Structure 1
Amino acid sequence: MSYSVKEILHLEVSPALGCTEPVAIALATAAAASVIPNERPEKIEVWVDPNIYKNGLAVIIPGTGGLNGLDTAAVLGALHGDSSLGLEVLEPIDESGVKDACKYKETHQVLVNLLENHHGIYVRALLTYKKHTTEAVIETVHDNITCLTMDGKPVADSSLVKTEQAHQADVSKLEDYIKQLSLDDLVEMISDLDDDDFLFLKEGITYNMRLADYGLKHGSGLGVGLTLERLARLKILTRDMILSARIITSAASDARMGGIKLPAMSSGGSGNHGLTAILPIYAVSDFVDCDEKTLLEAIALSHLITAYVKAQTGRLSAVCGCSVAAGAGATAGVTYLMGGTTAQMAGAITNLTEDLAGIICDGAKSGCALKLATAAGTAVQAALFAIHGVNVHSTDGIIGTSPEQTMQNIGTLSTQGMIDTDRTILKIMLEKHFIAANS
């Protein structure tokens, strides 16, 4: 089975409100609650895989005024989420809803269980009512509801499950398909973009620049973007295309990780991936002579390469996907924007991989803005190096003889080489969390 560029973009790129790991938990509890819409559960239980747990442990939930926690996400979804909105499930949340959720946690059991040996995205939500139980399961991708039951029996005619099961099948087949493609194939696909695709890609810029503008105005989260902007104004740093990419990408992450209630256009199931895949290219467009069509084609290529790398590494892993997946997409897109050849795009991907392959993912949090600043700047630098003839050799480390092999090696590193690393990261985070909770 083959896929068009439109189908790949439809499956891999979508708006997401907040970090997609706690959002997935909220979506699962909201879906389970939708079965009995006029009654509140007496108890909420959630089971999640290690990477959902890791990424959702400390990140701020949008629209909550700074609250975090997997249990908070579960309650917000169950009481006030709208499962029909998918990854924007928390859009209806307001101040009164947040207060209601906090009161619920004080008087009801909300249990979050870690499935230590489970691999791949998995969320199971079980809601207990006075006379019934409802259950929802999410697998493979963050918005893929594979099961919705009441008292152990499938809910009849559930549009949530029917649609998402089809989505799961498409995503699984897509990953198998895209793994077989070459960089040349991915570049060739962008010639098939139509007017609707261009409008969708332009919408992604609008979504993500709205976050960047907010971060720069308010200094949200860690304030990385705003600090870089100030350093440029003071002429301590030079505002070149590398710094501009770092500023807007990190500022958007500042806002998103700071819990600002604005959606990001995600890529490969991650809002931060979407920021990295889009914004460095948009920043560079101010420095080069290019038209809007070329800019949007470059962003489309970035999404395709991000999807390719994510198919190799898995949706979540011990390696920072913003660096090695969306970063690879961004550097190829920047090279395309500058008029580079496919061979130069291959060199840019190789350069970036050699530079950023060791960056770990230690969960979603405000500090992600630092990693996005690094990824964005390195994406531009790697492209510039490749265009000017600087290319890492295939004899170096994990670099392959082709860009495809290099990206496949990143997948091997993520799925085989860093399993113990991922466990150690989570162990450290859990120990910190336990100490903080008992201090």
Structure 2
Amino acid sequence: MFHKVLIANRAAIAARVLRALRSMGIRSVAVYSEADAQLPYLALADESYCIGPAEPGKSYLNQDAILQVLRDSGADALHPGYGFLSENAEFARRVQAQGAVFIGPSPEWIDAMGHKTRARELMRQHGLRMAPSSGLLSGEPEQDRRMAQEIGYPVLVKPATGGGGIGMMAARNDEELAKAVEQAGSLSRRSFGSAELYLERLLEKPRHIEFQILADRAGNVCHLFERDCSVQRRHQKVIEESPAPRLPREMVAAAGDEIVGVLAKMRYDVIGTVETLHAPGGGFQFLETNTRLQVEHAVTEEITGIDLVVAQIRLAAGEPLSAVIAQPVTVRGHAIEARIYAEDPVRFFPSPGTLKVLEFPVGPGIRVETGFAQGCAVTPYYDPMIAKLIVHAETRALAIERLQQALAATRIEGVKHNIPFIQRVLQSDAFRSGDVHTGLAAQVLAA
């Protein structure tokens, strides 16, 4: 097992990984930008290092600075968290070149799954179903139009690299396609350093269902059930839950087993999440594989009792899957997570500022993941998520009630936040009945 791990991230996920390392008796190394110097979890790390100014490119995306800390601290492993460099194969290789372990899938898998069109072709060859899509767009408007017409409108213009819903644009005709390609390409270039795009058939009101994967270095793979991430705003997840409501368990199990079979044949390793879309009559259709821990991993932890961060660390250290996960794993109750952002609840613009009041409820079935404390500043440099509020209960109805009560008891002052929006979704008849889909948030806002 590792003796010291560097956490190459910030805020909620850095605090989460730090907690896992402390539970395992592993020494921790935290890094921070000048803007994050006062975040509370830094005091809990065994060592902490400033890696640069606030701008991500000069700190959390600065590979040289992070690798220097890796050398200076003597850490023998690095946990990338999510976002930033977590799915950067070059960075993973550089970590390995220094003699340390990158706590994630092998760089080869980060490469293979990181480029969406190549990943889709790989999974298609292994028999997974997916919505009609194109290869990379050529940049020639006439060829782009022909590709869209062959797929059939409406289509979704998507970056071939990156994730998080950034740069995804819908187009319902040739005129909208030209605008979407221009805007998506610009966003993708700024966010991911690449303007490569492709087209995918836009499914109307599908379910967004993802499967949590764990695997060892010997090719043994398992899934820990599904998460329903259908409640999204502008392709960004807001509410996640497990199990997925109103989906037959035998159908979900069959889809999970099929994915496990494919990944085992490919000898995928450590951790990942296979994202799918589910439409009535169309089954599960492959979207992408995220080669990292997900923001919403706590939902799976609550229904299985398995600490995914600890499991990820143990698998990366070379332990067999059978030693990390005691089979069979069963679903216990229902869990829901709400992402709380510092943003205007009407226009949804970021709302940076100082958290003059930050109070969360405590009690059975309530869990809070955050990197902030009262008095900390939410800066404009990073994702404006303040916290994740997770609840667990025996049934979905009880979990919804518990989350509503927890949100009502949460106090945040100094910045605007999206709790009123989350409450509107939870109170809607569609959500309460389990009639969730990717258009639900917009439907609630338009009501």
When normalised by structure 2's length, the TM-score is 0.28
> Which structure has the higher relative contact order (CA within 8 Å, separation 6+)?
1
More helix by share: 1
